[in-house]
Amino acid sequence: MVRRDGPGSVSRTSAGAEGSGARAGTGRRPYGRRRRAVRYARTGRYAVLGAVPAVLLCFLVSCSSPAPDSSARDTAGGKRLPYWVPGKTPAQVARSMNVTIPPRAAGLRAAWQRGFQSDTVLLAFTLPRSDTAAFLRALRPSSLAHRDAPVGSAADHAPATPFARLGLPEPDTLPDVTEGPVCTDCNGELEWLNVAVHPVGANRDQVYLSGAE
C-alpha cells in the first residue's frame, strides 16, 4: 500500500500489518479463535442434547419400577403374603365362621391364612353320624349336593389353602361327599363359607369347613 507524506515522497506499508492493525482496532477476534469458539459451543450443545435421553430413561425406569416386596408384605406383621398365622385355635376359627362346634365333635383342627385381600379360615372335625344331620340343619346351607366320585386327583388339585395343612385329604379328591355353600354373602366380616362331609369309619363323618373374611 502506498502513502504520500508530502510532495515527491512516497512510503510503502505492509498490507498484512495494516490488516492486523485494522482487526485489532475493530475488536474482532482472529479467525482461528472464532472457529475454535464455535466448535466448543457446538460440542457443548451436543453433549447436553445427548444427556437428555439418558436422564429421561433413568427417570422413567425409577418411576416405573415398583418398590420391592411393598405389595407382598403384611403391614402389621412385616411377613410375606400369604402366610399361615400361628396359634389360631378351633374355637377362634369357629367364632370367625359363626359356627357352633357340636359338643360331641372330636379331632378338632383349624388353620388361618393371612391373604392379600382376604383371610382364609379352615376348620375340621369328626362327628358321630347321628349328629351330622342336625349340625347341617343348624348351618342352614343355601344348597347341598351329594356326589359319588372325586372331582379330581391329588396330583392335579392343589388349592391355595389346602386342608393338607391340617393333615387331611382335600374333599374334592374323595368319593361319597356331601357339600355345598353355607353362605356366599355372610353376616359380619365373613365373605363366604362352604361345608363338606365325608364318611370315615362305620359311624363317624369328617366335617370340612372353609371360608374367607
Convert the pLDDT of each residue in 13-55 to its tens digit: 444 444 444 444 445 555 555 555 545 445 555 544 455 455 4
Sign of CA dihedral 193, 191, 91, 72: positive
Amino acid occupying residue 13:
T
Give pLDDT, residue 30.
Answer: 52
Give pLDDT, residue 100.
Answer: 96
What would the grid cell of residue 181 be?
A: 355353600
In the block, which residue shows the cell 392335579? 156
Give the pLDDT band (50/70/90) at residue 152. Answer: confident
Mean pLDDT score, 183-192? 87
> First and final CA of the chain: distance in angstroms?
105
Give pLDDT, residue 158.
Answer: 65
Tell me the C-alpha to C-alpha distance, in Å, between residue 185 and each of 95, 114, 120. 17, 20, 15
Biggest CA–CA distance in the chain, Å, is 150
Give pLDDT, residue 185.
Answer: 80
The pLDDT tens digits of the residues spanning 74-132 come to 555 678 888 999 999 999 999 999 999 999 999 999 999 999 889 999 999 999 999 99
**Nearest alpha carbon to residue 132 among 49, 200, 36:** 200
Give pLDDT, residue 44.
Answer: 53
Give pLDDT, residue 38.
Answer: 47
